[in-house]
Structure 1
Amino acid sequence: MRFIPVDTTGALVMVAQPPRPKLKNRQTGEMAMDAETGAPLVTLDVTFVANGEADILSLTVPQPGIPEGLAPGMLVSLTRLIARPWENEFNGQRRSGIAFRADAVTVTAAPSLAGTSA
Structure 2
Amino acid sequence: MRQIPVDTSTAMVMVAQPPSPKIANRQTGEVATDRETGATLMTIDVMFVMDGNAEILNLTVPETGISGELAMGTPVALTGVVARPWENEFNGQKRHGISFRAVAVTSLTAAKAA
Shorter-chain TM band: over 0.9
Which residue is equivalent to 2:17? 17
Which residue is equivalent to 1:61? 61
Which residue is equivalent to 1:81? 81
Letter in 2 for 1:103: V
Letter in 2 for 1:5: P
Q: Deviation digits for residues 36-64 of structure 1, max 9, x if unmatched?
A: 10000000000000122100000000000
Which structure's residues are more often helix, by fraction? 2
Task: Give the SS at the match of 2:88.
Answer: strand
Query: Does the Cα contact within 8 Å between 2:12 and 2:49 map onto a contact in 1?
Result: yes
Give the TM-score of the pair, scaled to structure 1. 0.90
Which residue is equivalent to 1:90? 90
Alignment partners' CA distance in 2, 1:80 and 1:52: 23
Residue 69 of structure 1, CA deviation: 2.6
Query: Does the Cα contact within 8 Å between 2:39 and 2:63 map onto a contact in 1?
Result: yes
Which residue is equivalent to 1:113? none
Alignment partners' CA distance in 2, 1:4 and 1:17: 24
Q: Number of residue pairs matched? A: 110
Query: Does the Cα contact within 8 Å between 2:68 and 2:106 map onto a contact in 1?
Result: no
User: Alpha carbon RMSD of aligned pairs, Å?
Assistant: 1.1
Which residue is equivalent to 2:109? 109
Task: Give the SS at the match of 1:83.
Answer: strand
Q: How does 1:13-52 map to 2 (within 5 A)?
A: 13-52=13-52
Which residue is equivalent to 2:100? 100
Alignment partners' CA distance in 1, 2:68 and 2:77: 15
Identity within the alignment, % = 65
What 5-or-longer segments of structure 1 have no aligned partner? 111-118
Residue 8 of structure 1, CA deviation: 0.4
Give the TM-score of the pair, scaled to structure 2. 0.93
Q: Deviation digits for residues 39-92 of structure 1, max 9, x if unmatched?
A: 000000000001221000000000001125310000001000000000111111
Which residue is equivalent to 2:4? 4
Task: Give the SS at the match of 2:64.
Answer: helix
